[in-house]
Amino acid sequence: MAEARGAQAGRYATVALVGLPNSGKSTLLNTLVGEKLAAVSQTPQTTRGRITGVVNRGPVQLAFLDTPGVHQARHALNQRMLHHVDIALAEADLILWVVDADGFLGPGERDLAKRLKEARQPVYLILNKLDLVSKGRLLEKIAAYKDLLAFREIVPVGAKLAQNLDPLWSILERDAPEGPWAFEDDTFTDQTERSMAAEFIREKILRKTREEVPHGVAVVIRAWTEAGEEAYPEDGPEGGTCIEAEVLVERAGHRKILLGSQGAMISDIRTSAQRELRKLLQRPVRLELRIKVEEDWRDRPDQLDKLEL
Ligand SMILES: Nc1nc2c(ncn2[C@@H]2O[C@H](COP(=O)(O)OP(=O)(O)OP(=O)(O)O)[C@@H](O)[C@H]2O)c(=O)[nH]1
C-alpha cells in the first residue's frame, strides 16, 4: 500500500483493533473494510503480520490496524495479546477493544483492561456477536465491563452480519483527529492484493497441516502477472492473474510434511488457496507454489524486510 505524498487535508485516524483471540477482530476488520483482508478462521491465532485496511468516508480517512505478532510466537498467549495492545497504544489514534458478547469476562480481559487504562487515546468497547446474545444478556455484559476503564463509547455490533455498524462509523468519523490523510485515496493497490494473497495461502497451510508445521512458515509472492502484461504465461487463464509463491519453512522435516505423500498435501493446499484467491480477486487465478527450506528465516532481517513484517 502506497504512503501518500500529496496527502489530502481533512481528518485521519489510525484505528487499532485489540482483544482476545476469537473475539472477532478479523471479521470486524473485514466487514468494515468491505474486503476479505485478514485471515478469518475458527482457530485462534491464525492472523499475523500487520494488515491495514483503509476506508475513506467523506473528509475522513480511517486506517485499520490488525496487530498480531509473529515474533512473539514462542510467548504465552496472554503476553502476545498484550504485545498487540502495546503496538496499539504506541501507534493508534483510536482503540477498539473487541469483546465476544457471548463470552465471559476472564483474567485475560482484566489484564487487557489494566494495560488499556494507560491509553492516552480514546478506547471504545465493541461488544461483538450481537446475533448470539439476548438484549438482557447484552445489558449484563455492558454492566460487567463498563467500570473496567473509562470507555469513550460502548457499541454493540455484529461483525459477521454487519449489524449496527452505522453508530460505530459515526463515532469514528466524529473522533478522528484533524490532520492530513496518510494514504492515497485509491488505497487498494496491487500490493494489498499481494499481501492478502500471501496471507490466504499461509492460512490454508496452517489449517491443513494443523500443528505439524509450526509458526516458522512464511509465504512470499515471487511473481504476479496480469493478463495482458508481457510476462503473462501463454497458458495462463484468460483475463486472469498468475501468481507464483514461495513457501519458506525452517527445516527439511517441515518441507516433507508440507509436501505430503507424493505431493498430496501441497497440491491440496494449492488447489484450495487458488479457489479462495479466485473469489477474492474475482477473476481466474493460476497459483503455483514452491517450498523452500530457509533455516532461521525469522532471525534474518533481509527476509523479514521482504515479508514486510
Ligand atoms: N455469530 C457470530 N460469530 C462471529 C461474529 N464475528 C466473528 N464471529 C466468529 O468468531 C470466530 C473468530 O473470529 P475472528 O475474526 O477470526 O476472530 P479474531 O479475534 O480475529 O481471532 P484471532 O485471529 O485468533 O485473534 C469466527 O468463527 C467468526 O466467524 C459475529 O458477529 N457473530
Region 11-22 average pLDDT = 88
In a domain, 3, yes or no: no
User: Helices (H) and strands (E) in the chain — how many of each?
Assistant: 9, 9
In a domain, 39, yes or no: yes
**pLDDT exceeds 90 at position 106:** no
In a domain, 208, yes or no: yes
Determine if ligand 1 sits within 6 Å of the CB of residue 14.
Answer: no
Which mutation among 22, 42, 163, 165 tests ligand 1's pocket best, with the greatest number of atoms within 8 A of CB? 22
Question: Which position has the higher pLDDT, 253 or 302?
Answer: 253
In a domain, 1, yes or no: no
Domain boundary among 175, 200, 223: 175
**pLDDT exceeds 90 at position 21:** no
**pLDDT exceeds 90 at position 155:** yes
CA 221 to CA 195: how far, in whole Å? 8
Q: How confident is the model at residue 35 (pLDDT cuts 50, 70, 90)?
A: low
8 Å CB contact between 254 and 211: no
Q: How confident is the model at residue 107 (pLDDT cuts 50, 70, 90)?
A: confident
**CATH code of 199's domain:** 3.30.300.20
Which atom of ligand 1 is nearest the CA belonging to 43?
A: 24
Residues 155 and 227 in one domain: no
**pLDDT exceeds 70 at position 43:** no
Residues 116 and 242 in one domain: no
CA 81 to CA 69: how far, in whole Å? 9
In a domain, 236, yes or no: yes
- Name the residue at shortest CA distance from atom 27 of ligand 1: 42
Residues 95 and 159 in one domain: yes
Residues 133 and 202 in one domain: no
What value of ipTM does the predicted structure carry? 0.97
Highest mean pLDDT among 49-58, 142-151, 210-219: 142-151
Determine if ligand 1 sits within 6 Å of the CB of residue 49.
Answer: no
pTM (two decimals): 0.63
261 marked among binding-site residues? no
- Tell me the chain's radius of gyration from C-alpha atoms: 20
Q: What is the pLDDT of residues 240-286, one digit of tens each?
A: 999 999 998 888 888 998 999 999 999 999 999 999 888 878 889 99
In a domain, 127, yes or no: yes
In a domain, 180, yes or no: no
pLDDT at 302: 54
Cα–Cα nearest to 168, from 137, 133, 138, 127: 127
Residues 253 and 203 in one domain: yes
Region 46-74 average pLDDT = 62
Residues 38 and 157 in one domain: yes
Report how many domains make up the chain.
2
Residues 22 and 120 in one domain: yes
Mean pLDDT of the chain: 80
Share of the chain above pLDDT 90, in %: 39
Q: What is the pLDDT of residues 174-232, one digit of tens each?
A: 999 998 887 766 554 445 677 778 888 988 888 888 766 766 788 888 888 989 888 89
CA 197 to CA 208: how far, in whole Å? 17
Residues 133 and 212 in one domain: no
Determine if ligand 1 sits within 6 Å of the CB of residue 160.
Answer: yes
Determine if ligand 1 sits within 6 Å of the CB of residue 69.
Answer: no
Determine if ligand 1 sits within 6 Å of the CB of residue 30.
Answer: no
Residues 205 and 272 in one domain: yes
In a domain, 169, yes or no: yes
Quick check: helix, strand or coil at residue 133? Answer: coil
Residues 163 and 282 in one domain: no
Domain region containing 113: 11-175
Domain boundary among 118, 151, 175: 175
Residues 160 and 228 in one domain: no
